[in-house]
Amino acid sequence: MKPVLKYCGNRSMQDVKTTVASNGEYLGFVFAESKRRVEADDVAEWLKVVPVHGKKIVALFVNERIEEIEKVVKKAPIDIIQCHGSESPEEVKAIKERCKLPVWKAIHHSKTAIDAMKSYEGIVDGFIIDSKVKGQWGGTGQTFDWSHIPAYIEEGKRQGVLVFIAGGITPENVSGLLSYKPAGIDISSGIESEEQKNAERISQIEMRVNQHGHDIS
């Protein structure tokens, strides 16, 4: 099987048009402090205009109050909530119960990351393993040491949930990532040019994924 693709950080109608035309299964929107931050009303409007053809919409939050998350999921057609901060298992469980949507949890690569994944077992529906960069929660364009990926994949399989690899993935390095056979790949800055999603870079990513498809199991 080929990995599923998530294109995150869509911040305009044009971005949505570009990623909807891709083979990505998930489109992400950032509702947290970021240059890619969007408003729920705008996302709702874009998704009225641009049919997503079955792609799932992921809303990313960082340490947000449940009440604010609820406002977003009521305004925009959100399928999955992504908690990308330091939300505790208890907080994530409360978000899932209140919003009645699947929740993914970002785990920043570190020596204790596997233990962190275990603490959310039975609560989250997926993980995003991202680079740890001081002062930033994500979207940094920096990779982590990919030799640790097999352990993350194994823990995801043990829990029976999807694990995405994120952080600095580009058309230039994605082939190296594919050798680890990740189930999911999450890309934001790596498919951008001049702060817009770039169809050519997306096409390059997908071409490399397709080339490696016969190796992925």
DSSP character string of 3-46? PEEEE----SHHHHHHHHTSS-SEEEEE-SSSTTB--HHHHHHH
112 near 125, Cβ under 8 Å? Answer: no
d(CA 42, CA 58): 15
SS3 state of residue 138: coil
| pLDDT band for position 213 (cuts 50, 70, 90) | low
Mean pLDDT of 13-35: 97
pLDDT for position 39:
98
pLDDT in tens, 132-190: 655 444 445 578 899 999 999 999 999 999 999 999 999 999 999 999 999 999 999 99
Question: How many independent structural domains does the chain possess?
Answer: 1
Q: What is the mean pLDDT of residues 194-214?
A: 92
More confident residue, 141 or 206: 206
Which residue, 102, 173, 98, is CA-closest to 142?
173
pTM above 0.85, yes or no: yes
DSSP state, 55? Answer: P
In this structure, are residues 11 and 38 in contact, taking their beta carbons and an 8 Å threshold? yes
Neighbour tally for 174: CB within 10 Å = 20
> Does the pLDDT value for residue 217 go beyond 70?
no
pLDDT band at 99 (very low <50, low <70, confident <90, very high): very high
Work out the percent of the chain whose per-residue pLDDT is above 70: 93
CATH number for the domain spanning 63: value is 3.20.20.70
Average pLDDT over residues 42-57: 97
For the chain, give the mean pLDDT.
Answer: 93
Alpha-carbon gap, residue 136 to 215, rounded angstroms: 34
Instruction: Name the nearest CA neighbour of 195 among 6, 12, 1.
Output: 12
Contact status, residue 99 vs residue 108, Cβ threshold 8 Å: no
- Using 50, 70 and 90 to split pLDDT, how confident is the model at 116? very high
Burial label for 111, CB within 10 Å (0-12, 13-18, 19+), is exposed
The domain in which residue 150 lies consists of: 4-215
How far are the Cα atoms of 84, 86, 113, 158, 182 from residue 155, in angstroms, in the given order?
19, 20, 10, 5, 12
Please give the residue that has the higher pLDDT: either 1 or 172: 172
